[in-house]
Structure 1
Amino acid sequence: MNAPARAPQPLLEDFPYRLSDNVRFADLDPNQHVNNAVYASYFETSRVMLVKDPRHGLMPSGLSWVLVRLDIHYRAELHWPGTIELGLGISKLGRTSATFSQVVFSEGKCVASATSTTVMVGLESRQPTPIPDAVIARFQPWMLHHSTAT
């Protein structure tokens, strides 16, 4: 039986939303590399920075986004000290959900990638709510540039 083909390495330039962050000493585990659980906070940082920035208009009054799924692919160890580049692109918009492709790069290398899905909910009802057309239109600049595998 043949081994499965490796997924292609994501390219940072395929992700329209990017920001930098620092690896913190507190991110390390006893093996002296970034703990696997910390990556969820790196991915959260890029999602939250995008959707909560009022300039982007992705948080209508009375509505909010709730994370419902996070699939992480760990690709390489990450160490302290260092700077990381976070990349994000929308890979799919549903009736009530947005699916993000996300990456963490260090020194030009993808060290982790993820697919995350958030659902728009009413603040009072806490139930899934259709994404308003205006929000769908505002997501367009953040759509993934290519069919980058995460």
Structure 2
Amino acid sequence: MRVNVQRRDFRFWTEEKLRNADTDQFRHVNNAVIATFFEAARMEIFAPPAIRALMGGANLAVVRLLIEFSAELHFPGRVRVGSTVVEVGRTSFSVRQGLFGGARVDCCAAAQAVCVLVHGETRCPHPVAPQLRAYLLSRDDDTETFA
């Protein structure tokens, strides 16, 4: 996946606080915790009620997740996770993400996730509605435009 990830590449942003419990025996933030930060950032894309309404009763299922780690993180501190949707298919979409620690300019970890919309009742893949597709691919941060 080796990509040159920069802050300007992302539309959606999430901030997370590092906890002592996030560290491992090497005293740096554990890679499983970093995967959790990426998950939290992906879920925030769909948190606004207007966007949930566009999902037609579907939820997200991650079917592929690639993470590249490029720098250690240490407690205490905060991280910012940037996300952007790079492709939308019939029932799936691809999200590119970058995790930046504190004041660091460089990216500490990058992720690429393929997510499928799965209907809550039928448990089958659910089509991405045109308005949801427009929201995911837009560079506009105003969710009310898509409600």
**Structure 1 residues 24-49: Cα deviation after superposition (integer angstroms, max 9, x where no partner):** 11110010001111111000111111
Tell me how far apart the structure 2 counterparts of residues 48 and 32 of structure 1 sit (CA, whole Å). 28
Q: How many residues align?
A: 138
1:28 aligns to what? Answer: 23
Tell me how far apart the structure 1 counterparts of residues 54 and 67 of structure 2 sit (CA, whole Å). 25
Residue 133 in structure 1 maps to residue 130 in structure 2: yes
Q: Where do 1:60-79 residues align within 5 Å?
A: 60-79=55-74
Q: CA RMSD in A?
A: 1.9
Tell me how far apart the structure 2 counterparts of residues 95 and 55 of structure 1 sit (CA, whole Å). 20
Write the letter of the residue equivalent to 2:127: P
**Structure 1 residues 65-89: Cα deviation after superposition (integer angstroms, max 9, x where no partner):** 1111110000111101111111000
**Contact 1:58–1:135 at 8 Å: present in 2 too?**
no
Q: TM-score, normalised by structure 2?
A: 0.85
Which residues of structure 1 form unaligned runs of 5+?
1-5, 144-150
Tell me how far apart the structure 1 counterparts of residues 92 and 125 of structure 2 sit (CA, whole Å). 8
Q: SS of the residue aligned with 1:131?
A: coil
Q: Percent identity?
A: 33
Write the letter of the residue equivalent to 1:124: E
Write the letter of the residue equivalent to 1:113: A
Q: Where do 1:1-150 residues align within 5 Å?
A: 7-57=2-52, 59-106=54-101, 107-141=104-138
Runs of at least 4 residues of structure 1 off by over 2 A? 6-9, 55-61, 140-143
Tell me how far apart the structure 1 counterparts of residues 120 and 66 of structure 2 sit (CA, whole Å). 25
Tell me how far apart the structure 1 counterparts of residues 8 and 84 of structure 2 sit (CA, whole Å). 10
